Amino acid sequence: MEKFEVNILGCGSALPTTKHYPSSQVVNIREKLFMIDCGEGTQTQLRRSRLKFTRLNHIFISHLHGDHCFGLIGLLSTFGLLGRTATMHIYAPAELERLMQPQLDFFCKGMDYKVEFHSHDTRTPAVIYEDRSVTVSTLPLKHRIDCCGFLFREKPTPNHILRDMIDFYEVPTYAINRIKNGEDYVLPDGTVVPNGRLTRPSDPPRSYAYCSDTIYLPELAGLVHGVDLLYHEATFANSESARAKETFHTTAAQAARLAKDAEVKQLVIGHYSARYEDENILLQEAREVFPSTLAAKENLCIAL
């Protein structure tokens, strides 16, 4: 099975602590890296992860609060110092380009690579990136400013060839791609060999949903239904539910309720408030609702 991993670089919230870095993740799909959010210290965490800088070409920013984007200018500057030449693509609300361009012009003069901004509407689900392996769509969220999450869906792969059967029926090379894509094979005497005798099904495509800062949105369950892994912010415990509503954040139990309603396979919670020295209270409250819950932590790698 091809690689599909989620690497947690930071899982804290707005106030800095000595325990957690602000929000950032890297999704590794078949050794192609996609960054989600880029809080302060992200480039340091990227070094610690031992992921290869050169394979990161796409950065997705959920919203323009500092704990989700203050690390961008440092990361982009470092790429310039490393001699990067490949274009870096940044997907974010439209205001980011206006805010970032003066910083790039001042701090990153003479870089050998281009930074290309792609704006998207955070209010409507839409595919904003696609290649041969994956699509990335926005997930509308409700926060104090425009905000969205991101849904990564792996594309189905062709069936796997059964080499011994291909050899047995002496199937020519030119016919193999058609067989991979589901066609039967017709022998020279007209006998039809069913595709199921020549192939086995490919692995089912995997999916990952990232839900950044948001008030509890029950309707989100329909958009992330059945995903293999759901990351959802869980800033507060139940005792602070009024504060969560006031600041447009979610409690751990609410995140778990969404995961349960969406029938996801696994939930990982993060974006912890600095008030919690031990996030186990959040994990326990989530697991009471949805047992298959993990607590995010720096340098955690989750394989799908």
Which residues are catalytic, by number? 67
Is residue 257 classed as helix, strand or coil in its secondary structure? Answer: helix
Sign of the CA dihedral running 72, 56, 294, 212 = positive
- Burial of 96-114, coded b for 16+ CB within 10 Å and e otherwise, reads bbeebeeebeeebeebebe
Answer yes or no: are the C-beta atoms of 303 and 4 closer than 8 Å.
yes
Is residue 36 classed as helix, strand or coil in its secondary structure? Answer: strand
272: tokens are 């912890």
Give whole-number Cα distances, 43 to 48, 72, 96, 207, in Å. Answer: 9, 9, 19, 26
Q: How far apart are CA 254 and CA 191, in angstroms?
A: 58
**By C-alpha distance, which of 126, 64, 73 is closest to 94?**
64
150: tokens are 């991101």
Q: How far apart are CA 248 and CA 300, in angstroms?
A: 26
**By C-alpha distance, which of 230, 159, 229 is closest to 197?**
159
Q: How far apart are CA 253 and CA 229, in angstroms?
A: 17
Q: Which helix (H) or strand (E) holds 103?
A: helix 95-107
